[in-house]
Amino acid sequence: MTAKSAYHLLTKPAGAACNLSCAYCFFLSKEQLYPARESPLMRDDVLEAYIRQLLASSFGPEVEVAWQGGEPMLRGIDFFRRSVALANKYRPPGTRVLHTIQTNGTLIDDEWAKFFKQNGYLVGVSIDGPRALHDAYRVTKGAEASFDDVIRGWNCLQKHKVDANVLCTVHAANANHPLDVYRFFRDELDARYIQLIPIVERATPETIALANRGWGGPKGSDRPLYAQTGNLVTNRSVKADQFGKFLIAIFDEWVKRDVGKAFVVTFDVALGSWLGQYNSCIVSPTCGASLVMEHNGDVYSCDHYVEPDHRLGNVRQTPLGELVLSEKQRRFGEAKYATLPQYCRGCPVLFACYGECPRNRFITAPTGEEGLNYLCEGYKAFYQHIDKPMRIMADLVRRGRFADEIMGLQAGGQGAERRS
């Protein structure tokens, strides 16, 4: 009998292949893990093994089939039609399958949008803000701007009423323009679900010059394979204080007018922490339940650790459920808390972040300890800034009220009884 567990798996149907060459996309370099002669497109036997094993080893009542890249849409629409059919075939009674995909949006047309709508897909589109901010790093293989193609794809999703959200990376080009970014998503794109992901590209003294050039380029070029090593960062990386100020500026606008209307993942996750709930691996005491599978069936501990040392095995040789529950993966997840510096363990906002993601823990704490999060200064400023409104919203939720009532309370107390 297959052991079941609660986990999330990102799957890459076209590996690291992409039609864009975003300067900060370290995943482009992951092509080097596989021979040049090997196609990055997932074979149908791997697809079937993946879907069958995922549904057999996951707790219900909902199981997510999640696609990412590279650019997953390069695998072609018929592949995704087959994936939906396989999910229906192997779906256990009483289980609902959720289909999600993260895309750069440039390949979306009416056919794709209709398919997404018909099959209930949640589509995440990567957009970094208004034109100039987006095009700073998100460019084609020929270094041409991608904004117009992305917005065309977004508008196509909107036309067909596809459930869609925005994933925005925060980097050197847009970090000083938080409200321009947020208002563009809210007011111009009518986005109601927004993820904000900090760009932190690590490098060593030996790799920093090449890393600053970007991670694109043909296999066999001089670009390094990106790995979570080194205590230097590229010139595209967001600075810690910048990231904190970016989050604070958006939060201050959101908490006054957009609670319950626009869902910013960072804020929702933070509210969970104030309620004693951990809804994201990066703020949980431990991790290890969010894994990734490459196009050939190789499973790695995490999307940020697609490196030889973190390969768990391949679903064609070892069942997915066994890889998820393996001793190697257990140790990987427990290390998140075990490696926290004492400086973090005594921090008043430890409960809100637990050191964030281990991939960013590479600077020295004021105590001289190694392993402090590069973004610590920004996160600490943000969490201290939002403490009072978070406590108010958490109290509302505990009393069976709604977090958005905070907007009425801030406006003069007129909204406190609105939903009593």
Active site residues: 303
Q: Which CA distances in Å does 204 have to 199, 210, 228, 256? A: 17, 10, 10, 42
User: DSSP letter at 399?
Assistant: T
Instruction: Extract the tokens encoding 270.
Output: 């933070």
Q: Which CA distances in Å does 329 have to 173, 300, 319, 332, 361? A: 36, 9, 14, 5, 19
CA distance 378 to 369: 19
Task: Calculate the CA 175 to chain-centre distance.
Answer: 18
To the nearest 10 degrees (0 to 180), the angle between helices 387-398 and 265-274 is 70
Contact, 15 vs 31, CB < 8 A?
Answer: yes
Instruction: Extract the tokens encoding 284.
Output: 């949980």
Is the bond preceding residue 70 a cis peptide, omega within 30 degrees?
yes
Give the amino acid at 63: V
Which residue's entry shows tokens 């069958």?
52
Of 223, 215, 274, 312, the closest CA to residue 392 belongs to 274
